[in-house]
Structure 1
Amino acid sequence: MSEDEKNPAREVITDYAQAHFRYFRTPDGTVYAQKKGHPVARPIRSQGTTGSHRQELMVGLFHDGRGVFNGTALKEALDLIEALALSEDVQPVHIRVAPGFDGATWLDLGRDDGQSVRIHPTGWEITVPDPREVCWRRTQLTGELPLPAKDTNGKGIDLLMRLCNFATAETECLALAWLIGCLGPSVPVPAPFLTGPQGAGKSTGGRMLIRIVEGMSGDLRRAPKDEENLIAAVAAGWVTALDNLSHMTPDLSDAMCCIVTGAESVKRALFTDGDVFRVGYRRPLLLTGIDVGVIRPDLAERLLPLRLERPRVRRTEAELWAEYAEVLPVVLGSLLDLTVKVRAADAETPTDLRMADFAHLCAQLDTATGFGTLAAYRASLDDLNDDVIEGDLLAQTVLRHADTLTPGTAQRMTSTEWLHLLSGLYSSDEVRPLPKGWPTTGKVLSDRLKRLQPTLAARGVLIDAGRTSEGRYLEMARREDPPPREQQQVF
């Protein structure tokens, strides 16, 4: 037989692949392979040690009696398949949570059979999603969840709160609101910061919260040393949990803000001269620690403090986690029931809070249950503003000067004049030197005040910037009637 009459190995592989797999590309141009009838998709260029499409294809060819092929034939076949897939329809892939048709939301249970939870306006059900509706992407961080229990009558929520050491009922309802937010792919949620005295079970409580969504393999991790490693960890999972934070650098604080509200990282693609690789991410974030020092104002608006207390009775790790694994199906089932109820509730969206989507979710939870979640959220933000002011000498000095202003009036000066005034006010009492980190130029002062704008506005002090024919200016004003600080509602 001549060479022209032979069926090349690459054609055998290509025909088999197209008969058994569906190939498509994502909005960023990455080509994925999806076994027909199964919702899990894998990038065809993945060289992972487990679960790569290359291995999947090799095993299928071997089991179906098509033979064993060398790497060159596989590469040539995959190159052709990738080129053909670039003309196919575009479809995104999702990790753990995904939007579906007709207002539904999907939760990936991480199971080999592809069974997932479809949360729709009238309830939830366990089923295998249509591959054209949802494509799941899985990594080594994707753990398996148990099948959630039906008809729990809400007892799973009580079981969870009994295992955690939350200090107040307000803390419990905020934790519930965050868990419900984690089941929504389009709702940015603030990052819970589990605090409390030593021995309060902050790490254990954090694990219990994330394992409701990530399975028993979900765990806390130390904060990476650089932003690139942090982004890689965030992009590979759904909930990112950082344990035992004792210090928060400006770079880490900015990265956390991006994780909560969403950002995109662009890097040069490997083995190319001009192509780039895009990584978009917005993920639920959870933190634990006793004290992280000074919190920057932009991060404070994205935090959700959850205080824990020391348990009266200690239990062994084996006993505690055995009970948790036993009740997890009931806890997950109750959370899904509550999620359906909350999404069906009608509530107004607060317009004065930075995380408006989460504030609306809190209002819906209050409507559905009668809790005081929104009031508790406002009170927690107020406490965080106090922490920001307590750790920022410039903010304290601005508030001190604002007390001398007549309510309803404004004072306008250049940034350099403001720097001279505030510096003199800080050092006037004891002729003390300016502290480390104090603004050294009018430009630095202007930038610091812009960052402090939300914190100062919460105390009735408004900072504005503008330009006239004479140059730029900064304006400080006191509101006539600062809004009263709302008290937490006990339910």
Structure 2
Amino acid sequence: MAEDEKDPARKVITEYAQAHFRYFRTTEGTVYAQRNGHPVARPIRSQGTTGSHRQELMVDLFRDGHGVFNGTAMKEALDLIEALALAEDVQPTHIRVAPGFDGATWLDLGRDDGQSVRIHPTGWEILVPDPREVCWRRTQLTGELPLPATDTDGKGIDLLLGLCNFAGPATECLAIAWLLGCLEPSVPVPAPFLTGPQGAGKSTGGRMLVRILEGMTGDLRRAPKDEENLITAVAAGWVTALDNLSHLPPDLSDLMCCIVTGAESIKRALFSDGDVYRSRYRRPLLLTGIDVGVIRPDLAERLLPLRLERPRVRRTEAELWADYAEALPVVLGSLLDLAVKVRAANAVTPTDLRMADFAHLCAQFDTVSGLGTLDAYRASLDDLNDDVIEGDLLAQTALKHASTLEPGTEQRMTSAEWLHALTGLYSGEECRPLPKGWPTTGKVLSDRLKRLQPTLAARGVLVDWGRNKTARYIEMARQAPPPGPEQQTAF
């Protein structure tokens, strides 16, 4: 064939790629490539050498006898493919857990053959999902899970609890409920905070919980020092586990709230233009530590304290993890069996809790198991409220003032008047000096009370804001106790 009759290299690459790969875009505008019949998708803009679409396309072209192409031809072909894909249908990509058709959800096993677990209220099975139903996105944090065992009869749950040092049945059932929540892509789950004395195995217990969902390569990490690095780590995996926390700065506390319930990050796409890149994230979060000091009220509503105790008999790391690796297929199979039963169960959704979806899951779990998971969850939130109050002098002072009110009555004052009243109550007759961080203006006091509103409400003190003809006001009311049996009218 004459030189001028040969097809340009970019045309050969483009035709081959469109014949062997499916290209689509996400709502963020990122274009992905998905091998025909395979559920794993890779961004075509990835410049990495390990597992990138550019690499797999070059290897396929070489193996099929089309030759080796230079970087310019490959770039021109991928630029054209990307432009054509922008007109295709939009489809999301998922890491580890994804919603499917007919009320099912999928769990990515991280295998090269694409086998995944389809979970449905009627049962679970191992399949290769239809690429148009599920598109998996994998990163270096996506570890491989073992094929889950079948017909486990719940033995895996007992094996897991035997390896961890959870302090009592209430903590154990909350840990299992959290794992069940992690299998639901649409359910925000509170962040378990593994705490206990030194030597209780908090880091080991955290790794065991994480590796059920992330494989044996899953691990804990130190909390990043800035928001951008933490968001990058969160976006690259399913479960984000932070180890050995000793304090929670306000910025990190607010970011953790966003991770648990969902948020969006926007950053500049290129330094040469004004385009932006959107990143939506909501991930399961796990924390370990002995004590993190003062907990902010908004984070307290999103935490799940799991207390561990020191084991009576110590084991070597090698023995412990060898037993865990052997038990992991059974543990995963038992968890999937339990997930099927829980999803098929009917339960009333509690309407008084912030994390209502997780509370409903706890109620479903109780219906199946007969355990008191929902009561244990309520008790854990009550303990966290105590921690918030113990660490906040303003909350203590507001509760002290509310105790002087008659039950069922309210008091209205401007924010400046409330600041004067609460400051005087704290200082007392001895004119005790005000602590660092005490509100200095009525506006600051109002903002602090808004943060404390759920915590105070849990102690029977209602705070609300309004306006009359003259000024804005803050209203504080003390709830009346519920009527006793002798006060209730019989019909």
Gaps of 5+ in 2: 485-491
Aligned counterparts, 1:214-229, within 5 A: 214-229=214-229
Given that 1:223 and 1:242 are in contact with CA atoms closer than 8 Å, whether structure 2 keeps it comes out as yes
TM-fit CA distance, 1:121? 1.6
Question: Shift of residue 50 of structure 1?
Answer: 0.9
What does residue 231 of structure 2 align with? 231
- Separation in 2 of the partners of 1:482 and 1:188? 32
Tell me the CA shift for residue 429 of structure 1: 4.5
Residues 436 and 87 of structure 1, relative CA distance in 2, 3 Å threshold: same
Say whether the 8 Å CA contact 1:463–1:477 is kept in structure 2: yes
Q: How does 1:389-408 map to 2 (within 5 A)?
A: 389-408=389-408
Q: Hey, what's the Cα distance between the residues in 2 that align with 1:394 and 1:482? A: 27
1:43 counterpart residue number: 43
Distance (Å, rounded) in 1 between the aligned partners of 2:308 and 2:272: 50
Give the match for residue 487 of structure 1: none
- Counterpart in 2 of 1:17? 17
User: What is the letter of the counterpart of residue 31 of structure 1?
Assistant: V
- Tell me the CA shift for residue 184 of structure 1: 0.3
Aligned to 1:97: 97
- Count of matched residue positions in the alignment of Structure 1 and Structure 2: 484
In structure 2, how many angstroms separate the alpha carbons of the residues matched to 1:175 and 1:6?
63
Say which SS state the counterpart of residue 221 (structure 2) adopts. Answer: coil
Distance in 2 of aligned mates of 1:224 and 1:13: 41
Q: Is the 8 A contact 1:196 1:290 kept in 2?
A: yes
Question: TM-score of the superposition, structure 2-length normalised?
Answer: 0.97
Query: How much does 1:268 deviate?
Result: 1.1
Q: What amino acid maps onto 2:407 in structure 1?
A: P
SS in 1 for 2:291: coil
From the superposition, tell whether residues 208 and 460 of structure 1 become closer, same or farther in structure 2 (CA, over 3 Å): same
1:457 alignment counterpart: 457
Q: Partner of 1:334 in structure 2?
A: 334
- Distance (Å, rounded) in 2 between the aligned partners of 1:37 and 1:169: 45
Residues 138-217 of structure 1 correspond to what in structure 2 (within 5 A)? 138-217=138-217
Determine the C-alpha separation between the residues in 2 that align with 1:383 and 1:46: 47
- What displacement does 1:120 show? 1.0
Deviations 1:211-262 (A, max 9, x none): 0000000000000000110000000000000000001000000000000000
1:483 deviates by 10
User: By how many angstroms is 1:472 displaced?
Assistant: 1.1
Query: CA–CA distance in 1 between the matches of 2:296 and 2:468?
Result: 31
- Report the Cα distance in structure 1 between the residues aligned to 2:383 and 2:61, rounded to whole angstroms: 61
CA separation in 2, counterparts of 1:342 and 1:90?
32
Most deviating of 425-434 and 120-129: 425-434
Q: Secondary structure at the match of 1:408?
A: coil
1:305 lines up with 2:334 in the alignment: no
CA distance in structure 1 between the aligned counterparts of 2:483 and 2:128, rounded to whole angstroms: 50
2:317 is matched with: 317
C-alpha distance in 1 between matches for 2:290 and 2:49? 38
Specify the code of the residue in structure 1 equivalent to 2:297.
P
C-alpha change, 1:17 and 1:428, in structure 2 (3 Å) is same
Change (3 A) 1:471 1:321: same
Does the CA-based 8 Å contact 1:95-1:136 persist in structure 2? yes
Measured after TM superposition, the shift of residue 433 of structure 1 is: 0.5
1:52 counterpart residue number: 52
Q: Secondary structure of 1:430's partner?
A: coil
- Do residues 267 (structure 1) and 267 (structure 2) align? yes
Equivalent AA in structure 2 for residue 378 of structure 1: R
SS at structure 1 position matched to 2:144: coil
Displacement of 1:441 = 0.4
Partner in structure 1 of residue 82 of structure 2? 82
Letter in 2 for 1:52: S
1:383 counterpart = 2:374: no
Q: Alignment partner of 2:151: what SS?
A: coil
**1:346-385 CA-partner distances (Å, limit 9, x unpaired):** 0000000000000000000000110100000000000000
* Shift in CA distance, 383/429, structure 1 to aligned 2, threshold 3 Å: farther
1:412–1:125 Cα change, 3 Å: same
Does the 8 Å contact 1:460/1:483 carry over to 2?
Answer: no
SS in 2 for 1:280: strand
What CA deviation, in whole Å up to 9, does each residue of 1:317-352 have, x standing for no partner? 011000000000000000000000001000000000
Cα separation, 1, equivalents of 2:407 and 2:319: 60
**Partner deviation per Cα, 1:431-471 (whole Å, 9 max, x = no partner):** 21000000010000000000000000000000001122212
Render the CA deviation track for 1:237-294: whole Å, top value 9, x for unaligned.
0000000000100000000000000000011112441211000000000000000000
- The answer to whether 1:67 aligns with 2:67 is yes
**One-letter amino acid matched to 1:371:** L
Displacement after TM superposition at 1:482 (Å) = 6.6
- Say whether the 8 Å CA contact 1:460–1:482 is kept in structure 2: no
Where does residue 241 of structure 2 map in the other structure?
A: 241
Greater mean alpha carbon deviation, residues 266-275 or residues 323-332: 266-275
Deviation at 1:6, TM superposition (A): 2.9
SS at match of 1:241: strand
1:350-429 equivalent positions in 2, closer than 5 A? 350-429=350-429
Partners in 1 of 2:2 and 2:471 — Cα distance? 84
Letter in 2 for 1:399: L
AA of the residue aligned to 1:89: D
What is the rounded CA distance, in whole Å, between the counterparts of 2:319 and 2:406 in structure 1? Answer: 62
What is the one-letter code of the residue matched to 1:392?
Answer: D
Q: Which runs of 5+ in 1 are unaligned?
A: 485-491
Superposition CA RMSD, Å: 1.2
- Matching of residues 433-448 of structure 1 within 5 Å: 433-448=433-448
Between the aligned partners of 1:291 and 1:116, the Cα distance in structure 2 is 38
Letter aligned with residue 470 of structure 2: E
Q: Please tell me whether the aligned partners of residues 464 and 476 of structure 1 are also in contact (alpha carbons under 8 angstroms).
A: yes
* C-alpha distance in 2 between matches for 1:239 and 1:429: 52
Report the alpha carbon displacement of residue 26 of structure 1 after superposing the two structures with TM.
Answer: 0.6
Supply the AA of the counterpart residue of 1:26.
Answer: T
